[in-house]
């Protein structure tokens, strides 16, 4: 497979990797300022061999260096393991692995074991009254891998296995007990890791020795950004694999029941209950299989459609950048005349996030939207605002109200919650999920083209917009590119016009020509 065609690198994934690398560098620099000469950084670079880094790391552990950054642990030849860890910290009887990641590792609450970054040691931890652990299975599995390497090398701490994580905020270390029964079925992180590693090692040995393959492709969410997807997609289509219709554990359950192909699933009695699925009712899975065989993107669940409409309507789409903030609120006003110019407008800040100007743009958006609601009400008109997948918009509506509380034009959290919980705020994604079965996904970029809508930018997409934003504001210290800002405005306008078009289409007679699930 070394010469097999692979998909080109996903620009958004490459950017995330670069951001993560920079984040680790920032954390390393912060730790150097805190612990000074107690930290040893293992040399790294294109000309440095991994074997040399292993030797330097081993020598540092033998000397008892308190903090080792960029460690490459000795290869575990017996167990078949190799790899490194961002940070090793010396505890009383050995070393503890610490991972540095660029995502959130806690949520508001209590119960997480944390220690301040100024004392990044497990014995300095306490039960945090303000944070609870955000489950991140991959983090724990990576820590378990490092723990097994440390044990094989003879440098793990005595007693219970522990690992730390420094997250996006980089203000505390969250400590995980890798032997606590926190996984499904009361399993521990170490037990889960051991089972998964043994499975993968068996697959690899089988492939390396030229025996008949014991693992086959199965589609999951991550496939869309995997470089091996061209190979797996062809394999799945040739086998007409059931994971093309259902994913994850549902595909596993269906195969166990002897339903390994889309054809098998399509032939199943939709009222059957002998295959319990997690992601959807078995009847929906059968209908999706039939739709896939006919190359249908959408199938109506019901004979008649039910779409909430109003006299005055506003389509809303928010653009954010990671967890730093929401820099744009795009709106499309349509419907009856209320003495307000109809069409698209955006409330935006081009100051690099996070910034205080974000409060100004959010306040202007909220003031405008509130004004539209009041004008419609004063004229006796009904009003509704629409978005596609309210989770993102609701998150930043509430977060903006909290972050900028008390500033001019900023609503209270209670006012925001009153709006998003009212029938004036409509999530079109939820309606699509209720009204349709979607054989190729429920994303707006998949559904809107069926309604006849197309984006002007051939690279339109949420992941690409992240890259355009970085360029637009010069987030990496480079010169801002205003043309990328214009590109984002066009992209955002097309997004709200797409939801408008989708709503109009769903309310039209065109629905009668769309296949009905009962007819399949």
CA quadruple 203, 206, 210, 214: dihedral positive or negative?
Answer: negative
Based on the fold, state whether residues 320 and 290 are members of the same structural domain.
no
Asked if the structure places residue 212 within a domain, the reply is no
Based on the fold, state whether residues 226 and 170 are members of the same structural domain.
no
Residue with tokens 């440390």, as numbered in its chain: 150
Structure tokens at 324: 């730093």
Share the mean pLDDT of the chain. Answer: 93
Asked if the structure places residue 349 within a domain, the reply is yes
What are the CB-based long-range contacts (under 8 Å, 24+) for 322-327?
322/19, 322/466, 323/104, 323/168, 324/353, 324/354, 325/353, 325/354, 325/355, 325/358, 325/396, 325/400, 326/358, 326/362, 326/396, 326/399, 326/400, 327/353, 327/358, 327/361, 327/469
Read off the pLDDT band of 173 (50, 70, 90): very high
Q: In CATH, what number is assigned to the domain containing residue 482? A: 3.30.420
Task: Using the 3D structure, point to which of 295, 324, 357 is the last residue of a domain.
Answer: 295
Helix (H, G, I), strand (E, B) or coil at 69: strand
Helix (H, G, I), strand (E, B) or coil at 231: helix
Based on the fold, state whether residues 370 and 474 are members of the same structural domain.
yes
Based on the fold, state whether residues 168 and 116 are members of the same structural domain.
yes
Number of domains in the chain: 3
Asked if the structure places residue 520 within a domain, the reply is no
Return the H-helix or E-strand segment holding 326.
strand 325-335
Return the H-helix or E-strand segment holding 265.
helix 262-266
Say if residues 242 and 219 touch (Cβ distance below 8 Å): no
Based on the fold, state whether residues 183 and 229 are members of the same structural domain.
no
Buried b (16+ CB within 10 A) or exposed e, 38-56: ebbebeeeeeeeeeebbeb
Asked if the structure places residue 36 within a domain, the reply is yes
DSSP structure string for 332-353: EEEES--SS--EEEEEE--SPS
Based on the fold, state whether residues 398 and 268 are members of the same structural domain.
no
- For the stretch 238-289, pLDDT in tens is 999 999 999 888 999 999 999 999 999 999 988 877 788 888 888 889 999 9
Asked if the structure places residue 339 within a domain, the reply is yes
Asked if the structure places residue 216 within a domain, the reply is no
Based on the fold, state whether residues 169 and 237 are members of the same structural domain.
no
**Minimal CA–CA distance to 377: which of 425, 336, 413?**
336
Based on the fold, state whether residues 86 and 187 are members of the same structural domain.
yes
- Least confident window among 66-75, 166-175, 217-226: 217-226
Question: Domain residues for 125?
Answer: 11-199
**Minimal CA–CA distance to 290: which of 272, 307, 265?**
265
Beta strand 383-387 pairing with 425-427? parallel
Strand pairing partners for 384?
Answer: 313
The one-character DSSP state at 111 is -
Read off the pLDDT band of 303 (50, 70, 90): confident
Asked if the structure places residue 300 within a domain, the reply is no
Asked if the structure places residue 205 within a domain, the reply is no
Beta strand 383-387 pairing with 312-321? parallel
Based on the fold, state whether residues 274 and 317 are members of the same structural domain.
no
- For the stretch 41-98, pLDDT in tens is 999 988 899 999 999 999 999 999 999 999 999 999 988 999 999 999 999 899 999 9
Whole-prediction pTM: 0.76
The pLDDT, as a whole number, for residue 397 is 97
Based on the fold, state whether residues 249 and 331 are members of the same structural domain.
no
Based on the fold, state whether residues 171 and 239 are members of the same structural domain.
no
CA distances from 487 to 362, 457, 470 (A): 20, 8, 12
Based on the fold, state whether residues 256 and 192 are members of the same structural domain.
no
Task: Using the 3D structure, point to which of 295, 326, 356 is the last residue of a domain.
Answer: 295
């Amino acid at each position: 497979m070394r010469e097999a065609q692979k998909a080109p690198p996903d620009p958004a994934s490459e950017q995330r990797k670069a951001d993560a690398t920079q984040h680790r560098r920032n954390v390393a620099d912060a730790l150097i300022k805190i612990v000074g000469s107690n930290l040893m950084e293992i040399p790294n670079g294109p000309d440095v061999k991994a074997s040399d880094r292993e030797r330097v790391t081993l020598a540092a552990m033998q000397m008892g260096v308190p903090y080792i950054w960029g460690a490459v642990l000795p290869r575990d030849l017996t167990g078949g393991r190799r790899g490194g860890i961002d940070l090793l910290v010396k505890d009383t009887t050995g070393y503890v692995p610490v991972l540095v990641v660029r995502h959130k590792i806690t949520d508001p609450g209590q119960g997480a074991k944390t220690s301040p970054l100024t004392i990044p040691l497990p014995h300095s931890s306490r039960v945090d009254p303000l944070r609870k652990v955000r489950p991140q299975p991959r983090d724990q599995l990576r820590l378990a891998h490092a723990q097994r390497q440390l044990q094989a090398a003879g440098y793990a701490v005595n007693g219970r296995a522990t690992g730390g994580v420094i997250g996006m905020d980089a203000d505390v270390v969250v400590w995980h007990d890798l032997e606590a029964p926190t996984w499904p079925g009361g399993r521990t992180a170490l037990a889960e890791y051991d089972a998964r590693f043994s499975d993968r090692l068996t697959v690899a040995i089988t492939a390396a020795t030229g025996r008949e393959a014991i693992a086959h492709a199965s589609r999951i969410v991550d496939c869309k950004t995997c470089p091996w997807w061209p190979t797996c997609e062809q394999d799945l289509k040739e086998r007409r694999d059931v994971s093309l219709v259902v994913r994850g554990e549902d595909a596993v359950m269906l195969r166990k029941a002897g339903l390994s192909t889309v054809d098998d699933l399509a032939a199943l009695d939709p009222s059957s209950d002998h295959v319990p699925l997690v992601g959807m009712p078995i009847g929906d899975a059968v209908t999706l299989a039939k739709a896939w065989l006919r190359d249908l993107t959408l199938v109506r669940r019901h004979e008649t459609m039910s779409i909430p409409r109003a006299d005055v309507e506003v389509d809303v789409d928010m653009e954010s950048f990671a967890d730093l903030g929401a820099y744009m609120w795009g709106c499309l006003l349509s419907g009856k005349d209320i003495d307000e110019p109809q069409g698209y407008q955006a409330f935006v800040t081009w100051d690099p996030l996070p910034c205080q100007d974000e409060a100004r743009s959010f306040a202007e958006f909220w003031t405008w939207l509130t004004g539209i609601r009041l004008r419609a009400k004063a004229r006796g008109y009904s009003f509704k605002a629409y978005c596609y997948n309210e989770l993102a918009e609701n998150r930043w509506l509430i977060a903006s109200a909290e972050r900028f509380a008390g500033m001019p034009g900023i609503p209270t959290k209670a006012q925001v919650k009153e709006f998003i919980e009212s029938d004036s705020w409509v999530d079109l994604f939820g309606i699509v999920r209720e009204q349709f079965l979607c054989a190729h996904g429920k994303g707006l970029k998949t559904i809107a083209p069926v309604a006849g809508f197309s984006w002007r930018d051939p690279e339109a997409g949420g992941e690409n917009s992240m890259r355009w934003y970085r360029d637009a504001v010069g987030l990496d210290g480079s010169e801002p590119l205003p043309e990328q800002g214009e590109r984002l405005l066009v992209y955002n306008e097309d997004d709200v016009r797409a939801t408008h078009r989708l709503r109009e289409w769903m309310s039209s007679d065109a629905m009668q020509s769309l296949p009905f699930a009962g007819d399949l």
